[in-house]
C-alpha cells in the first residue's frame, strides 16, 4: 500500500497499483501502408482493366475541360467506364465523360482519360492522381496532360496553346503526403525539370510545321471552383504565373514521382487581366476550348509521331 499527502497536510491511504501481468504485452504492429496509392490497390485496378484489355500502352493522355473530342482521333480498341475500375473516382464535371480509352494515336499505343478529377469536386489528391499510378502500371512511360485555363500574360490571348514549362502548386496539398512506397518512387522526388525538355522541343517543331501559335510559360494550380478576383490575378501574375487553372499539377507530381516523362499543354480559354476583367462563364470557356481543340489534337498527334 502506498501513502499520499492530502491537500490539508494529512495522509490518506491509496490502493496499491495492480500487479504486473505475468507475460509481457506484445508491441503494436507497425502501421500498414493502406493508402489509395498502395501497390495492392494499384494492382487490383490493373487486374480489372486487364480482364478487358491486354495491350501495353506507351503513352498516357489526360484530357481536360472541353477537350474530350481528342478521343475521336484515337483508334479505340477498348473503352472502360471509370465505374468499372476499382479505386477510380467518378467524373462529376459536365464536360468530362468518365471513360478510359485504349487504342492507337500517332502510331503509338495510348491510354486516354476522357475526363479527369479535381480537388474542388471533393476528392483527395490521392484520388485525383490514382489513375496516373494505374496508367503507369499498365506500361505508360510518358504522360501528356492537357487543360483549359485562364491567361494572365497580357501578351497572349484566349484560343492559343501554351506548353507548360514549369508550375506553381497553390492547392494547399500534395498527392505524395503520407507513407511512401519506394517501389513506386522516391520519398523526395526532384522537381527541377517536371516537364520534359526534349518533348517540349519536339512540340515546338510540330507547331512551327503546322502553323500553330504555341506559347510556353508557367501554370499555377488553385483549388477553385470559383474563378479568381482581380486582386488574386494580380498576386498570381506577380508570383510568376502566366496562366491559372484547377488541375494538372497533382497528376504531374505523381508522374514525376513515377519517373514518367511529362508533356503539358494548356488551351487559353479566358482573359484574366485585372484592369480589364470581364465575367466569364463555363459555357464560354468550353466553347473556346472546343474551337482550339483541333490545334491541340494536331500538336499531340505530331509529337507522338516523332517519339
The C-alpha atoms of residue 296 and residue 265 are separated, in whole angstroms, by: 8
**Crossing angle for the helix pair 249-257 and 125-137, to the nearest 10 degrees:** 40
* pLDDT greater at residue 5 or residue 58: 58
The CATH-assigned architecture of domain 37-178+188-306 is: 3-Layer(aba) Sandwich (3.40)
Residue 34: the pLDDT is 53
The dihedral through the CA atoms of 192, 160, 120, 261 has a sign that is negative
As a whole number, the mean pLDDT across the chain is 89
- pLDDT value at position 68? 72
Residue 290 φ/ψ, nearest 5 degrees: -65, -40
DSSP for 85-144? STT-----STT---EEEEEEETTEEEEEEES---GGGT--HHHHHHHHHHHHHTT--EEE
Q: Can you give the pLDDT at residue 70?
A: 81
Contacts of 267 (CB under 8 A, 6+ apart): 64, 66, 67, 146, 147, 148, 149, 159, 160, 161, 288, 289, 292, 293, 296
305: closest CA among 59, 70, 132? 59
What does the DSSP 8-state code read for residue 28? Answer: P
Q: CA angle, corner 68, sides to 67 and 73, nearest 5?
A: 105
Confidence tier at 65 by pLDDT (50, 70, 90): confident
pLDDT tens digits, residue range 151-160?
Answer: 999 999 999 9
Domain borders along the chain are 37-178+188-306
pLDDT in tens, 79-123: 999 999 999 998 766 554 689 999 999 999 999 999 899 999 999
Alpha-carbon 289 to chain mean position: 19
Q: Give 122-179 pLDDT, tens digit per residue.
A: 999 999 999 999 999 999 999 999 999 999 999 999 999 999 999 999 999 999 999 9
139-167 exposure pattern, b = at least 16 Cβ within 10 A, e = fewer:
ebebbbbbbbbbbbbeebebebbbbbbbb
Show the cell assigned to 112. 486516354
Query: How do strand 99-105 and strand 2-5 relate by DSSP bridges?
Result: unpaired
For residue 122, count other CB atoms closer than 10 A to its CB: 10
Q: By C-alpha distance, which of 135, 199, 189, 122 is closest to 164?
A: 199
Residues 6+ apart with CB under 8 A from 30: none
CA distances 226 to 120, 246, 279, 282, Å, are 9, 10, 12, 11
Amino acid at each position: 500500500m502506498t501513502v499520499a499527502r492530502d491537500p490539508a497536510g494529512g495522509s490518506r491511504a491509496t490502493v496499491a497499483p495492480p500487479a504486473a501481468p505475468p507475460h509481457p504485452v506484445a508491441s503494436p504492429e507497425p502501421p500498414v501502408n493502406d493508402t489509395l496509392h498502395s501497390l495492392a490497390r494499384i494492382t487490383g485496378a490493373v487486374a480489372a482493366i486487364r480482364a478487358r484489355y491486354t495491350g501495353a500502352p506507351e503513352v498516357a493522355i489526360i484530357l481536360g475541360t472541353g477537350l474530350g473530342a481528342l478521343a475521336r482521333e484515337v483508334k479505340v480498341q477498348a473503352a472502360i467506364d471509370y465505374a468499372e475500375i476499382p479505386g477510380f473516382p467518378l467524373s462529376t464535371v459536365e464536360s468530362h465523360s468518365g471513360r478510359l480509352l485504349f487504342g492507337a494515336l500517332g502510331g503509338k499505343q495510348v491510354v486516354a482519360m476522357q475526363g479527369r478529377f479535381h480537388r474542388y469536386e471533393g476528392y483527395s489528391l490521392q484520388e485525383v492522381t490514382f489513375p496516373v499510378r494505374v496508367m503507369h502500371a499498365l506500361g505508360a512511360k510518358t504522360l501528356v496532360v492537357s487543360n483549359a485555363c485562364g491567361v494572365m500574360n497580357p501578351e497572349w490571348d484566349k484560343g492559343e496553346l501554351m506548353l507548360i514549362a514549369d508550375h506553381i502548386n497553390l492547392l494547399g496539398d500534395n498527392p505524395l503526403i503520407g507513407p511512401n512506397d519506394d517501389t513506386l518512387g522516391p520519398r523526395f522526388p526532384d522537381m527541377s525539370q517536371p516537364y520534359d525538355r526534349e518533348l517540349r522541343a519536339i512540340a515546338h517543331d510540330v507547331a512551327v510545321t503546322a502553323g500553330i501559335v504555341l506559347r510556353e510559360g508557367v501554370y499555377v494550380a488553385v483549388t477553385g471552383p470559383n474563378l479568381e478576383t482581380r486582386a488574386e490575378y494580380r498576386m498570381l501574375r506577380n508570383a510568376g504565373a502566366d496562366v491559372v487553372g484547377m488541375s494538372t499539377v497533382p497528376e504531374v507530381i505523381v508522374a514525376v514521382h513515377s519517373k514518367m516523362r511529362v508533356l503539358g499543354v494548356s488551351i487559353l480559354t479566358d482573359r484574366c487581366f485585372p484592369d480589364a476583367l470581364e465575367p466569364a462563364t463555363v459555357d464560354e470557356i468550353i466553347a473556346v476550348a472546343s474551337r482550339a481543340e483541333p490545334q491541340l489534337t494536331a500538336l499531340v498527334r505530331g509529337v507522338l509521331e516523332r517519339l
